[in-house]
Structure 1
Amino acid sequence: MRAASLAIAVASACCFGFSGPMARFLGAAGMSPLEAVWVRMGGAGLLLIAALAIVRPRALRIPRDRLLFVGAYALVAVAAVQGLFFFVITRLPVGIALLLEYLSPVLVVVWARFVRRLRLGRSAYVGAVIAVAGLAVVVEVWDGIRLDTLGLAVGLVAAACSAGYFLMNDAFSDDDLDPLGLIAWGMAGAAVVLLPLARPWSIDWTAFGRTATVDGHTLPVLGAALWLVLVATIVAYVTGVIAVRRLSAAIGATVATLEVIAGAVIAWFLLGERLGGAQIIGGGVVLAGALLAQSAAARPEPGPAVQLTPEASVAG
């Protein structure tokens, strides 16, 4: 059971890894990063809602007492994670921005220990730190580093929102909220939130009928967009939520750091981008951290202060 859950988490990270390469083809077609994000969120939300309305309409029902949670999920776990990252890369190198966002595993284990009062095995803490250290090597944070106070501050907020994604996926009951419905409404809600920033009415929609070339590799723009929506978003989020709910937020967040490695490998195969020694060594370190973290088991602290229910975790 645990092995299957880990396989789902790794599959999610690999699917997320297609995000960057596919988005590059949309960028080559003339779309800005935020426009590509809006196409991704809006397309995924629309397709999921349409599919669920046909095959599983009950999944789209949101209890009245869960409306605020779903709204927060769309705003924090989806829209903010995407939107803030693209703001940060305007102020800091992409490698630093990625490293800041993927501080989330450390934030999740700290939350689990001190807010939810779960006793995590030492391997959970050590594994999260090792994974983040490995990412620092992968993205080569020392290359062209520059400090920007606002960029760093917003990057830390993005990391907190990313941690919120994992914590919120672990903070509801299947009895009152269907995970697929949560993802569908989360994507649709994020598209609405990003509407004034992405300004999709400015997109050249005729580009979807053309091809785009990146580093000598050509793909139909529509094909790249569909892969981004179906695989790098819908499949990635669905498997990610399933993995977190089976493994816990702390372990799921650490295993998710493999996304950066997966993205580098996919870009290597798909676009011919070079994998340097730092990426290979750092990837091994990230993998070691993820494997170490997954061996941890969470136990509640004894005593009256224990808060174990999903509601308690949200309130905390």
Structure 2
Amino acid sequence: MPVHTSDSSHSGRGKGVGLGLALVSSLAFGGSGVAAKPLIEAGLDPLHVVWLRVAGAALVMLPLAVRHRGLLRRRPALLVGFGLLGVAGVQACYFAAISRLPVGVALLVEYLAPALVLGWVRFVQRRPVTRAAALGVVLAVGGLACVVEVWSGLGFDALGLLLALGAAGCQVGYFVLADQGSESGEEAPDPLGVIAYGLLVGAVVLTAVARPWTMDFSVLAGTAHMDGTPVPAAALLAWIVLVATVIAYVTGVVSVRRLSPQVAGVVACLEAVVATVLAWVLLGEHLSAPQVVGGAVVLAGAFIAQSSTPAKGSAQPVASGAPERELSARETIA
């Protein structure tokens, strides 16, 4: 079937914007650990840092929640699901997993999510995926094994493994729910409204889990140390809330709308690469040769997945990324 040049160019621009947003999201998410680690070393419990992150972001996004309050009536299940899975579930399961497994192992298991997304699309939704997207996932997961140096600590704990798989499953929920309503013929819910209510739901759930009333709030008034350099704790918290959460979630969800859940999921694997590089530069945690090679493999996998072509005989294979989905005026980020 002939392809109109204008449509092809329009679709290409859409995928380009989506890829750019996905990269920004990975960069923002990847910077969270570098900012959180000094706070944890200063005396805050990791779960309390997670609560501060989500609750602070929910407060920032509260005006948007009020503006899009109609979503509570139209899509309550989506909002609750996104909050439980995409916000609270990922954070809680991951932090619980690293208490029983080496961080590298837990991170690798969590980032099996792109492969699980492809499985969901292929076997549950029974929609075609391309070989290129599948190859991209394989490369990305293999590269992550090098980035986190999974061979350096293979401590096995059945409950820890289940928790890490739970984090991966919740991340699948994040990508799948972020794409809800973006199909042709269905009005997509405003992504900013979904994020705002998802953060509110996540904050409520994490409040019960983290018990913030037991936190030593005086740590936030002092300074933390980033590779020996004193940094105001409040500045680190502001980075975690505004950049690593608000900007990360907004760009991440919008990128899923312009790409597809599985393609955005593979690009999101770059978060591990970003986190490792930032830890090297800002915390003095040096990269080994296998980690450098692994980062290059992850980049290659992400590129192959996002540039994959439609599967033969498929009208609209999800793994190729659908044509750009136009956001309505209400859904455009100012």
TM-score, structure 2 normalization = 0.85
Residue matched to 2:22:
9
CA–CA distance in structure 2, aligned partners of residues 220 and 228 of structure 1: 13
- Among 87, 93, 96, the alignment partner of 1:84 is 93
CA–CA distance in structure 2, aligned partners of residues 3 and 204 of structure 1: 44
Q: CA deviation at 1:177?
A: 2.3
> Which 4+ residue blocks in structure 1 deviate beyond 4 angstroms?
297-303
CA–CA distance in structure 2, aligned partners of residues 60 and 300 of structure 1: 42
Q: Is the contact made by 2:226 and 2:282 (CA closer than 8 Å) also made in structure 1?
A: no
- Among 129, 136, 152, the alignment partner of 2:145 is 136
* Structure 1 residues 84-123: aligned runs within 5 Å: 84-123=93-132
* Structure 1 residues 283-302: aligned runs within 5 Å: 283-297=295-309
CA–CA distance in structure 2, aligned partners of residues 168 and 301 of structure 1: 27
Unaligned runs of 5+ in 1: 304-316
Asked if 1:241 is matched to 2:253, the reply is yes
Asked if 1:266 is matched to 2:278, the reply is yes
- Among 159, 178, 183, the alignment partner of 1:169 is 178
SS of residue matched to 2:49: helix
Q: CA deviation at 1:76?
A: 1.2
Q: Given residue 155 of structure 2, which amino acid in structure 1 is its aligned partner?
A: R
Q: Is the contact made by 1:104 and 1:160 (CA closer than 8 Å) also made in structure 2?
A: yes
Residue matched to 1:314:
none
Q: CA deviation at 1:196?
A: 2.2
Residue matched to 2:230:
218
In 2 relative to 1, CA 269–67 (structure 1 residues): closer, same or farther, beyond 3 Å? same
CA–CA distance in structure 2, aligned partners of residues 244 and 301 of structure 1: 24
| 1:263-300 Cα deviation digits (max 9, x unpaired) | 11112222222111121010001001101111124569
SS of residue matched to 1:13: helix
SS of residue matched to 1:147: coil
In 2 relative to 1, CA 107–176 (structure 1 residues): closer, same or farther, beyond 3 Å? closer
Q: Given residue 49 of structure 1, which amino acid in structure 2 is its aligned partner?
A: L
Q: CA deviation at 1:83?
A: 0.1
SS of residue matched to 2:225: strand
Q: Given residue 14 of structure 1, which amino acid in structure 2 is its aligned partner?
A: L
Q: CA deviation at 1:175?
A: 3.6
- Among 104, 107, 126, the alignment partner of 2:135 is 126
Q: Given residue 285 of structure 1, which amino acid in structure 2 is its aligned partner?
A: V
Q: CA deviation at 1:112?
A: 1.2
- Among 267, 270, 277, the alignment partner of 2:289 is 277
Residue matched to 2:56:
43
| 1:203-246 Cα deviation digits (max 9, x unpaired) | 12222221111431221000000000000000011000011110
SS of residue matched to 1:284: helix
Q: Is the contact made by 1:97 and 1:155 (CA closer than 8 Å) also made in structure 2?
A: yes
CA–CA distance in structure 2, aligned partners of residues 5 and 176 of structure 1: 16
Residue identity over aligned pairs, in percent, reads: 47
Residue matched to 1:190:
202
Q: CA deviation at 1:301?
A: 7.6
Q: Is the contact made by 1:12 and 1:239 (CA closer than 8 Å) also made in structure 2?
A: yes
Q: CA deviation at 1:58?
A: 3.2
Residue matched to 1:150:
159
Q: Is the contact made by 1:8 and 1:239 (CA closer than 8 Å) also made in structure 2?
A: yes
Q: Is the contact made by 1:80 and 1:161 (CA closer than 8 Å) also made in structure 2?
A: yes
Unaligned runs of 5+ in 2: 1-12, 316-334
Asked if 1:20 is matched to 2:20, the reply is no
Q: Is the contact made by 1:117 and 1:300 (CA closer than 8 Å) also made in structure 2?
A: no
Q: CA deviation at 1:176?
A: 5.7
SS of residue matched to 2:156: coil
TM-score, structure 1 normalization = 0.90
Residue matched to 2:325:
none
